[in-house]
Amino acid sequence: MVPFTTARATPTALTLITAVVSLVTLPLVRLTLTVIGASPAELPVLLPAVAAAAVAGPLTWWLGPRRSLPAALGALAALWALLIAEPLRVAPLVGVTLAVALATLVLLVRRLSAAAEDGAGRVARALALAVAADVTLRLFGDLWDPLWRGGALATVLALVLTGSLAAGAWATAQGTPPPARGGGIQVALLGPALGLYTVLGSPAFLAVWAGIPVTLAGVWITLGTVIGVAALSVPLPRGVPIALPLAVTFALLPSPLAAPAALLALAVLPYVVRRALTAWERTATTGHGALADLALAGAGCGVGCALVLVPGPWLVVAGAIGLGWAAGESVRPARLLRPFGPVVVASVLLAVPPLAGAARPAADPLPVDTAGGMYRLLNWEVTGTPPDEVLAGIEESGAQVAVLHGVPRGTPEAGGLDLPAWLEKRLSAETVWAADDGDRRTGTLVLTSLPVSERAEGPGYAALTVTLTDGEPSRIGAGSDLGPLLREEAEVLALPPSAAPAVAEESGFHPAGRGRIFARELLEFGPVDAGPPAVTVYVP
């Protein structure tokens, strides 16, 4: 629990509370994308949910400036505690909780800006440290968000954060807060900043785009946040905000440059956020009083965050351009004092993921016995299936080869989970990945415990040759677009996503619960046609 040692909310205590609320908000954003969705067709559902952060204004009008922040923190603690129960993670409750979290952040920024000389710098530092802690927690759980995966660890973490929010509510209720001031609608820029952190702070996203392991991607991200925290205490040139949209643009391009570009973007983002929050010398106002200013800041924060998270690179880049432009309108701030402690904390967080990986138990092997020239193949459409059920299905099938379709790699709907990396760390198997044509973050994964003598990958398909115990080779192809593979190779067991043949009894495939499709032992198979793929399987 966050140690609040004073009776009233000092700037240091408010900074700690801001970090806790930010750490709660980041997984809430991912959970909202998982429950509600982030496609353009579902945007009308997402926008009202996050626009409800405009409650920051009415809450202040109703309870007054002294009680509004404690009430928001208390409400967030109560709603967060409800979400510990998985059956309650439905769209309305998740959307309301995210809106309350965003409204609480807006109120915290306003309180911290009034209580400290450089409140915006403290907010930027707290947000960057929260991102580093969030990445560390996710890497510890192999990107399956530890707060939503269930179990004792998830419950303990959720309760600790709930207690920290409740302690923050108590601390902010003590003493007399600084007088409320009008203006400050530029606090809405927190929304695009949160959206950028959600995109750039996703290890799976960076791993796919840069073609690097997930753990290494997490190191790049955390190193960027460490530099960003340290840079808040170093004089930087006035033109630094220009680097943000440029770095974000390169980070969204699938190439090895994505990793250093993401690091650069995360390194300058805290400085840009700090300057953006102080733009226009804190006089940005609607002209209709503090209530309207707060309401607009809250609604803008939520909508800005949602727009940046809509699929497609242009809105992400637009968010970076908007933040860079706002930062360019502000005066150059002085360096933030006392950098030692935050930099040490960020550096410790950087060291946690590799240590957690070294302490992970050894992976479980898949079956390898193919005596008699037979092997078992599992062909499964896993879209929307929890990772633990996918793992259990593979192990229960006893298959030497598993072909999984609809496999996510950092998609919003999967909460940023990289399922191939998650499975590779739990199964001792060789893998081949075939990204769907036009989308690098979903595709088909082939896992096998058998020796692989040859493999081929292309847009929408993957193929590999496995060697059985008696030395006989077997060629397997899988993916969403098998046409090029089938035109080049005559003898291949083709497994498209819609793998269940029309006549299951004649083919040897049969359903076995929860959408799983199991194949019996395969003795031999004949050539397949070029399209649509059809499989001829002989079953003993």
State yes or no: pLDDT of 495 exceeds 80. no
> Model confidence over 70-127: pLDDT tens digits?
888 999 999 999 988 888 888 888 888 988 898 898 888 888 877 777 788 889 989 9
Calculate mean pLDDT across residues 21-40. 84
The type of residue at 405 is H
State yes or no: pLDDT of 18 exceeds 90. yes
Give the pairing type, strands 377-381 and 364-365.
unpaired
Specify the pLDDT at position 286.
53
State yes or no: pLDDT of 261 exceeds 90. yes
The type of residue at 359 is A
Specify the pLDDT at position 118.
79
Termini Cα distance of the chain: 62
Calculate mean pLDDT across residues 467-485. 74
Give the orientation angle of helix 11-35 with respect to helix 190-200, to 10 degrees.
60
d(CA 382, CA 379): 9
pLDDT interval class at 285 (50, 70, 90): low
State yes or no: pLDDT of 130 exceeds 70. yes
What integer best gives the mean pLDDT of the chain?
76
User: Six-digit token pair at 239?
Assistant: 């033109």
User: Six-digit token pair at 306?
Assistant: 């949602």
d(CA 300, CA 119): 20
Sign of CA dihedral 85, 86, 88, 89: positive
Least confident of 36-40, 61-65, 159-163, 383-387: 61-65
State yes or no: pLDDT of 259 exceeds 90. yes
> Model confidence over 412-453: pLDDT tens digits?
778 888 888 888 888 888 888 888 866 678 888 888 888 888
Calculate mean pLDDT across residues 11-16. 87
Higher pLDDT, 346 or 229: 229
Pick from 411, 422, 25: nearest CA to 197: 25
State yes or no: pLDDT of 8 exceeds 80. no
Least confident of 149-163, 395-409, 426-440, 490-504: 490-504
Helix residue ranges, H only, 83-189: 91-115, 119-140, 152-172
pTM over 0.85: no
pLDDT interval class at 290 (50, 70, 90): low
Pick from 512, 347, 378, 536: nearest CA to 446: 378
